[in-house]
Amino acid sequence: MSYYRPPAKYRWNAGFVAWLLHRITGLLLILYLFAHEWLISSLQSKSSFDAAMKAVSSPLFKLAEIGLWAVVIYHAVNGIRVIFVNFFHAAERNNYNINVWVFWIIAAILFVIGTIPMAKGLFY
Amino acid sequence: MAVAIRGFIDRYKGSGKTGAFNWFFQRISGVALLILLLGHFYIEHFYAPGTIPTYNVVAGRLASLGWKLFDLSFVVFALWHGINGIFEFIDDYVHNGWRLFLRALFWVIGVFYLILALLTILPFSATGGING
């Protein structure tokens, strides 16, 4: 079978890093979805459901939740960037790398905004 | 706009062999997930910070058909988007006999999780789930 062989060396341009992070966060999200759905589907009685929800409301899980938010918001914002690259000419040579940085900053701002209510939840 | 969308549909119609439809629908489902996943995240994580979601709260929400449809469409789009993403990994990195096996495996996993979602969400009620 013939297929495209990527070059042996990748350049660490912003766009490449953005693509790599998109892959890693995507893989984390599908694995999380499998685990999440498996857990919820196993909690079919009121007592087991409430016991599990209490367990995942511990500070450790709350911190992990903030990590999940980081993964979700990166994948979502970079996904929007991919659509802009595909359909709205965001991949021109003169603006490509700067666009990556613009979307990274947007993702960082949204991450902080979402982290504030979740971090408050840590101290209840 | 309508002409542009029509153009896309025509271009990717009958494109099962090339994967172009999958490529295009990865974008469409991604946009759908912006609404569904971020909505889900808002309801579960931001709406009532510091409170623990109890069975009764979730059952109360899922008593409405609208929320059942919201959660089900979220699972359908998320599963399709995620497993299509895994198919992209397979296309990129697996070029030997494992290809067919891995694609078949993730088809089975996808259908399994779809059925699991239906069995979990549809009977979820205040009077108890599958086991009462």
**Is residue A9 situated within a structural domain?**
no
User: Which residue carries 């900053």 as its tokens?
Assistant: A105
Q: Evaluate whether residue A7 is within a structural domain.
A: no
Rounded to a whole number, what is the distance in Å from the CA of B129 to chain A's nearest CA?
5
pLDDT digits (tens, 9 = 90+) for B104-118: 999 999 999 999 999
Q: Which of B37, B54, B95 sits opposite A50 (nearest CB)?
A: B54
Number of structural domains in chain A: 1
Please indicate whether residue B70 or residue A123 has the higher confidence score (pLDDT).
Answer: B70
For the residues A87-104, what does the mean pLDDT come to?
79
Going by C-alpha positions, the residue among B131, B85, B132, B79 that lies closest to residue B110 is: B79
Q: How close does chain B come to A110, measured CA to CA in Å?
A: 12
Which segments of chain B have a pLDDT < 50?
Answer: 129-132
At A7-29, the pLDDT tens digits run 667 778 888 889 999 999 999 99
Across the interface, which of B52, B82, B120 has its CB nearest the CB of A33?
A: B82
More confident residue, A65 or A92: A65
Matching CATH number, B22-121, of 1.20.1300.10, 1.10.2020.10, 2.90.10.10, 1.10.1060.10: 1.20.1300.10
Query: Who wins on pLDDT, A88 or B72?
Result: B72
Tell me the whole-structure pTM to 2 decimals. Answer: 0.83
Does residue A1 fall inside a structural domain? Answer: no
The answer to whether A29 contacts chain B (CB < 8 Å) is yes
Would A6 be classed as within a structural domain? Answer: no
Domain that holds residue A118: 14-122
- Which tokens hold the place of A43? 């909690």
Q: Which residues contact A33 (CB under 8 A, 6 or more apart)?
A: B78, B79, B82, B113
